[in-house]
Amino acid sequence: MTAQGIVAVDKGAPPGGDVLLRASDVTKHYPLRADTLSRRRRVLRAVDGVSLEVRTGETLGIVGESGCGKSTLGRCLVRLTELTGGRVEFDGQDITTLSARRLRPVRPGMQLVFQDPQASLNPRRRAGDIVAEPLLVHRYGDAAAVRRRVAELFDVVGLAGAHLDRYPHEFSGGQRQRIGIARALATAPKLIVADEPVSALDVSIQAQVLNLFADLQEEFALTYVFIAHDLGVVRHVSDRIAVMYLGEIVELAETEALYEAPAHPYTQALLSAVPDIDDGTQAADAPRRERIVLTGEVPNPVDKPTGCPFRTRCPYARERCALERPRLTLTASGRHTACHYPLTV
């Protein structure tokens, strides 16, 4: 157990499986009302040119401060949000522009678990009906088969014996999230995008739900995209981590490499704000991180800085950073970073 009560999951080397999900230059821009004076159409760049791959069986963590576009990206990846540009391939199929009818057989394979089980479960529906819904939508079988499957799913998420005819408010927060997970598992997905699945829960419950995610991954060979703002949480579940800032990925690396030697100044600053967690693996004389306090506000995604999006807060910014947008590129140490002057090469 760590100081946070989270059992450290040894993920070992990231599975070198096939690519299950590939995002290429994904953008999601929200148009704002036209400015009456200039008549300029302004857009909010929630996701701004994201490319990434998720391999079968791995967990890709996505971290970043509130508003950086994590949820929007997660929804784009499973096409719950229409993309403004770019492309998403899932299981070898380009799903970017599939019609609702053509998307229907693809949907069971990719599911979303939401942050707030209170808000994402219909309060007027019984727990059993909530979990049965995707089975009915995707015509799983007759009523008896659906009932059996629902009972099996409750068992799988650790709610064996729970009253299926109770309403969400009759369950605890952790139990409600287990119901959300059971609903996501109902259609036997390959991919689960979990959007801050534990941030609404007490710390002691967080550990249990994170361990459930780990067990389910092993049992059902699941692939996860795990979105969180909490770097401590994401470290314990992820094989690789993508760090987002203002709608862009600024660094993508294997978890330990990222924590040991961040290449992007933003990652370095984020990590420096995380208290060192004693999970028994650190040497007693291991150096402590120096806290880097970023000055200035996160810029508005409507008026992003020219060049590097982070340059207005970057302690190392130089002239080139204002002129040229750095692309996410592979460095010699095997990580991807979008920085003209990475800290680790």
Ligand X SMILES: Nc1ncnc2c1ncn2[C@@H]1O[C@H](COP(=O)(O)OP(=O)(O)OP(=O)(O)O)[C@@H](O)[C@H]1O
List CB contacts of 167: < 8 A, sequence separation 6 or more. 123, 124, 125, 126, 127
Q: 């949000």: which residue's tokens?
A: 81
Q: Is 7 in the site for ligand X (CB under 6 A)?
A: no
Interface positions, 106-145, toward ligand X (CB under 6 A): none
With CB under 6 A as the contact rule, which of the stretches 19-27, 65-73, 279-287, 309-317 interacts with ligand X?
65-73
Q: How far is the CB of 54 from ligand X (least distance, A)?
A: 18
Beta carbons within 10 angstroms of residue 198's beta carbon: 27
Q: How far is the CB of 229 from ligand X (least distance, A)?
A: 6
CB-count exposure of residue 299 (10 Å: 0-12, 13-18, 19+): middle
Number of H helices, E strands in the chain: 11, 12
Of the pair 44, 292, the CB lying nearest ligand X is at 44
Q: How far is the CB of 136 from ligand X (least distance, A)?
A: 28
Q: How far is the CB of 234 from ligand X (least distance, A)?
A: 13
Q: How far is the CB of 72 from ligand X (least distance, A)?
A: 3
Cβ-contact 331, 313 below 8 angstroms: no
Q: Is 242 in the site for ligand X (CB under 6 A)?
A: no
Q: Is 309 in the site for ligand X (CB under 6 A)?
A: no
Beta carbons within 10 angstroms of residue 156's beta carbon: 18
Q: Is 46 in the site for ligand X (CB under 6 A)?
A: yes
What binding mask, one character per residue, do residues 69-108 give for ligand X by CB under 6 A, x or -?
Answer: xxxx------------------------------------
Gap between the Cα atoms of 203 and 68, Å rounded: 24
Q: Is 30 in the site for ligand X (CB under 6 A)?
A: yes
Would you tell me the crossing angle of helices 203-220 and 173-185 to the nearest 10 degrees? 20
Q: How far is the CB of 283 from ligand X (least distance, A)?
A: 34
Question: Which residue ranges make up the site for ligand X (CB under 6 A)?
Answer: 30, 44, 46, 64, 66-72, 229, 301
